[in-house]
Chain A
Amino acid sequence: MFDKIFVEKSYETNARALSIINRFPKAKVSVIDKIEDIFNRVKKPYLQKNESLNLFLGEKKGQLVKEAPDAYGLSGEPHYYFIHAYNCIYECNYCYLQGYFNSPDIVLFLNHRDICNEIESVTEECSKKGLTPWFHAGEFSDSLALTHITGELEIYHELFSRLPEAKLELRTKSANIKALLELTPKKNIITTFSLSPADKIKKNDLQTPSLRARLNAIRKLADAGHPIGIHFDPVVYDENFKEKYTQLVEELFESLPVDKLEYISVGVVRFTKDVFHQVKKNYPSSELLSSELIKSFDGKIRYNRPMRLWILSTIREVLLNANVDKEKIYLCMEEDDELVIDS
Chain B
Amino acid sequence: MRLLVFAHRAEAQTFLKQANYRSLESKSYPIYKNADSYLIISGEGIFNALECTIATLSKFEDISVVYNFGVAGALDDQSEIDSIVEVRTCYAIINEVVEFKSFTASSKSKLDCITSSSRALDKEKASKLSPFANIVDRELWAIAKASSNFSLDFRAFKLISDEPYKEESKASICEVIKDKAEYYSDKLYKEYLNIIDQPIVESKFVIEEYKDLYFTISQYRSYSTLMTQLLTKYDSEEDILKLVEVDKIITLDILPKQRTSILLEKLREILTPFNSKLQSQLDQVLSPLHEARVKTTLSKNLEIDQFKISATIQNEVELKKIARALTNLDYQAYRSLMRGNVDV
Contact surface of A with B, Cβ cutoff 8 Å:
4, 6, 28, 30, 32, 38, 41-45, 48, 51-52, 54, 102, 237-239, 242, 285-287, 289-290, 292, 294-297, 303-313, 340-341, 343
Contacts and interface: CB of A to CB of B under 8 A. Distances in A.
A313 B343 CA distance: 12
B91 interface: yes
Interface stretch (B8-16, B37-45, B226-234, B316-324): B226-234
A75 B239 CA distance: 46
Given A102-B100, A303-B274, 6 more contacts: A238-B233, A285-B231, A290-B229, A290-B232, A305-B338, A310-B344
B340 A308 contact: yes
A303 B342 CA distance: 14
B123 to A, nearest CB: 13
A10 to B, nearest CB: 18
B101 interface: yes
Interface string B54-84: 0000000000000000000000100000000
A42 B230 contact: no
B132 A38 contact: yes
Nearest to B282: A306
A309 B89 CA distance: 43
A42 B132 contact: yes
B341 interface: yes
B contact face: mostly helix, strand, loop, or mixed: loop
Contacts of A289: 229, 232
Nearest to A307: B274
Contacts of B271: 290
Interface string B260-275: 0000000000011111
Tell which of A30, A305, A312, A340 has the most Cβ of chain B within 10 Å.
A305
Interface residues of B, number: 39
B177 interface: no
A312 B339 CA distance: 11
B301 interface: yes
B296 interface: no
Contacts, number: 101
Contact of A292 (B76, B132, B232, B275): B275
Contacts of A43: 100-102
Contacts of A102: 100
Contacts of B94: none
A305 B340 contact: yes
27 contacts: A30-B127, A30-B131, A38-B132, A42-B101, A42-B132, A44-B89, A51-B88, A102-B100, A238-B233, A239-B273, A285-B231, A286-B232, A292-B275, A294-B301, A303-B274, A304-B275, A304-B302, A304-B303, A305-B339, A306-B302, A306-B337, A306-B342, A309-B339, A309-B340, A310-B274, A313-B340, A313-B341
Contacts of A303: 274
A307 B303 contact: no
B245 interface: no
B99 interface: yes
Contacts of B272: 292
Contact of B278 (A239, A306, A343): A306
Q: Which 6 A-B pairs have the closest CB atoms?
A: A309-B340, A290-B229, A310-B340, A294-B301, A287-B232, A304-B302
Contacts of A307: 274-275, 278, 340, 342
A239 B276 CA distance: 12
B110 interface: yes
B232 A48 contact: no
B104 interface: yes
B89 A45 contact: yes
B270 to A, nearest CB: 8
B98 interface: yes
Contacts of A312: 340
Contacts of B99: 42
B256 to A, nearest CB: 27
Given A305-B340, A307-B278, A42 B303 contact: no
B136 to A, nearest CB: 14
Contacts of A4: 131
Interface string B296-336: 00000111110000000000000000000000000000000
Contacts of A292: 272, 274-275
Nearest to B271: A290
Interface string B99-114: 1111010000010000
Tell which of B88, B101, B340, B342 has the most Cβ of chain A within 10 Å.
B340
Contact of B233 (A41, A48, A290, A311): A290
Contact of A290 (B102, B230, B274, B275): B230
Contacts of A308: 340
Contacts of B275: 292, 304, 307
A32 B102 CA distance: 22
A6 B131 CA distance: 9
B302 A48 contact: no
Contacts of B339: 305-306, 309, 340-341, 343
Given A51-B110, A285-B232, A310-B341, A304 B301 contact: yes
Contacts of B127: 30
Contacts of B338: 305-306
A15 B104 CA distance: 38
Contacts of B231: 285
A24 to B, nearest CB: 16
Contacts of B131: 4, 6, 30, 32, 38, 54
A316 B171 CA distance: 69
A308 B301 CA distance: 12
A200 B314 CA distance: 56
Tell which of A41, A306, A311, A340 has the most Cβ of chain B within 10 Å.
A306
Contact of B89 (A48, A54, A286, A313): A48
A287 B233 contact: yes
B236 to A, nearest CB: 14
A292 B270 CA distance: 11
Contacts of B102: 42-45
B91 A42 contact: yes
Nearest to B114: A42
Contact of A295 (B273, B301, B304): B301
Contacts of A305: 301-304, 338-340
